[in-house]
A and B are shown apart, each in its own frame.
Chain A
Amino acid sequence: MSATLRDRVQATGGREGTVPKIASASAATRAQGSGQDRIILENVSKFYGEVLGVNRVNLSIPPGVTGLVGPNGSGKTTLMNLITGLIHPTEGRVSVLGISPTQPEELFRRVGYCTQFDSFPKGVTGFSFVYNTLRLHGLDDRESVRLAHEALQRVGMTEPALRKVAGYSKGMRQRIRLAQAICHHPSVLILDEPLNGLDPMARAESLELFQALGREGLHVIISSHILHELDKMSDQVILMSSGYVVAEGQIHAVRTEVKEHPMQILIRCSDPNLLASRVFAQDHVVEAKLNEDGRGVLVRTRDADAFYLLLNQLVVKDKISLETVAPADDDVNSVYQYLIGSENKTI
């Protein structure tokens, strides 16, 4: 029965046709390339009995900050658990920097995972929680103490470290889990909703930390509901819905591929009326709307590159002086709304 369901879902390609699938088709091919610096998922499916976790996922994730976006139940945590070997794929293959997740003794020397599970071993203090992890790595007492202090300092938990975790606030528990994930200086950091429960200050600090880690060349994979924050720090995004990867890649490239929704570009210039009339004559421009303040024009175009080329020409020819040119919907939030938002109103 279970196999029948899987066959049916896989044979039909699940939700293909309802949402655009942009990049995953070519991922398997790319996955053949350099696997030593990438996280690769090849045709990975995970079923919990009859329930679909993720289906036919093909990804090749390069270093940098990758945002994992999708509504509740879309398969984000399942994907992270598959990458870290906490669960095993029903089908397909996962490789993290060339290491299989079935080899935790190798994998977790290079991977840190901050899970969403908000539970801790009974009676532990913040310090002993991180320290014990390092002892499990096989490090001696001195090195474990040093690295534990370093990680606690990095997440701003030095002062309450000797208190029991049971008495921590949600944000403190979140940060102590983060300390545990980064304490051994991993090359891959996987963070499942790491900003949940953090106050604005801690959130800003964490964002800064993730970006810094990304700049250091780490793979940082972050799932979050807070899209504008994810937008700020992510080099690329993976959009998931109902167990499928809907889109993946650099945000701009993904946005460009969403042809159903013309790109919105806001231009502030010396003569918006003239600009609006000029651009509206173009086939690829579907709308040119003047701003209420009369100093700008919002253009919706099916071909952003062609529009930018046209804009250059107009500036020279009509002597329009430009103040700003900015894409108005070239961000994670818009991409999310276009690809998933109409089906899942809440995330």
Chain B
Amino acid sequence: MTRLAELRTTLAEQPWELWTRQIAAVLRMDLRKNFLSRRGIWIYLLAFAPVAIITLHVIFTFGHSEAMYRGSGNLMRGDTEILAGIFQFFYLRLGIFFGCLGIFTWLFRGEIIEKSLHYYFLAPVKREVLLLGKFVGGLVTSVTLFGLGVFASFAMMYLRFGEAGQYYVFNGPGLGQLLAYLGVTLLACIGYGAIFLALSLLFKNPIIPAILVLGWETLTPVLPSIVQRFSITYYLKQLCPVSIPGEGILALFTVVSQPVGTVAAVLGPIVLAALVLLLACKLVRKLEVSYVAE
């Protein structure tokens, strides 16, 4: 009880208001760079490529959809599964993974390469606060891009069904599924973002470690369940609103052998990210500005 009181006092004594202002300042500087940098175009492509494909699909089948829906009750279910497939195979495994790789590894590594990190380090900002500000900046960027991508994919997919699509979204399970997709997107960005941010502080070239992470995320389903808990996708797969019938090797990506409860699945990536960010805080405190060595 005394320790709890001490902790509460310590927390109350911290300059939260100053830290909030400093994080806001980092955000103001970083968001502009994250969203408007030319080198980030490929991340936009990753986020919106499925939208473009679905849009083309809608354009080419325009005017037939409602009739097709009436003629075949399975069509919307089929499209729902296709959307689930796009989300699980493309967004989770590729789009968000590599998007976060591009965004979060660049937060510090990019500043080092462009020789501008010292401007942050020469301000009276706790390194941990700086790291958090940059992480939040990366998170806002990735969630905005991929959240919009997922939202637009979802909207495009059900737009073609007209009133039936609207009914499915607003009176059926559609809206819940959309929120679940967006929630999983957020958790994926938190989890992958933290990992890639830490990797960028550990390695000069974080691409090879990132490939190892991709391998780990892919292979953990065949490992013991306790080991699986150190994988981000282990939790995210369980939170996906539509299950995809897994057959053969694809089952690796969709089936969870020993699922945990929903709350644990939500907290899992957050706790993992928090642990990785704690490690990143230690790394950033030791980080030196020595551009010559880069």
Contacts and interface: CB of A to CB of B under 8 A. Distances in A.
Interface in B259-291: 285-286, 288-291
Interface string A100-111: 001011111100
Contacts of B118: 86, 115, 117
Given A105-B124, A138-B18, A133 B119 contact: yes
B122 A88 contact: no
Interface stretch (A26-34, A118-126, A278-286, A313-321): A118-126
| B interface: dominant SS | helix
Interface stretch (B26-34, B86-94, B188-196, B207-215): B26-34
A117 B124 contact: no
A138 B24 CA distance: 9
B289 A86 contact: yes
Nearest to A103: B126
Given A119-B115, A138-B18, A104 B290 contact: no
A104 B114 contact: no
A136 B33 contact: no
B293 interface: yes
Interface in A126-156: 132-133, 135-138, 140
Contacts of B119: 120-121, 133, 180
A102 B285 contact: yes
Contacts of A121: 29, 33, 114, 116, 119
A104 B288 contact: no
A81 interface: yes
A87 B290 CA distance: 7
B75 interface: no
A192 B26 CA distance: 26
A107 B124 contact: yes
A86 B126 contact: no
Given A86-B288, A86-B289, A87-B290, A120 B125 contact: no
Interface size bracket, A side: 20 to 34
Contacts of A105: 124-126, 129
Contacts of B5: none
Nearest to A49: B293
Contacts of A119: 114-116
Contact of A136 (B32, B123, B285, B291): B123
Interface size bracket, B side: 20 to 34
Contacts, number: 84
Interface in B113-164: 114-116, 118-127, 129
A108 B37 CA distance: 29
Contact of A137 (B33, B36, B123, B285): B123
A132 B30 CA distance: 11
Contact of B25 (A106, A108, A120, A136): A136
Nearest to B125: A136
A40 B290 CA distance: 22
B70 interface: no
Interface string A9-46: 00000000000000000000000000000000000000
B32 to A, nearest CB: 8
Given A113-B122, A135-B28, 10 more contacts: A102-B285, A105-B129, A108-B125, A119-B115, A120-B119, A122-B33, A133-B119, A135-B24, A135-B25, A136-B125
12 contacts: A87-B288, A104-B124, A104-B126, A105-B125, A115-B122, A119-B116, A120-B119, A132-B29, A133-B122, A135-B21, A135-B24, A138-B22
Interface of A: 48, 81, 84-88, 102, 104-109, 112-113, 115, 117, 119-123, 132-133, 135-138, 140, 180
Ranked 4 nearest A-B pairs via Cβ: A119-B115, A136-B123, A135-B25, A108-B124
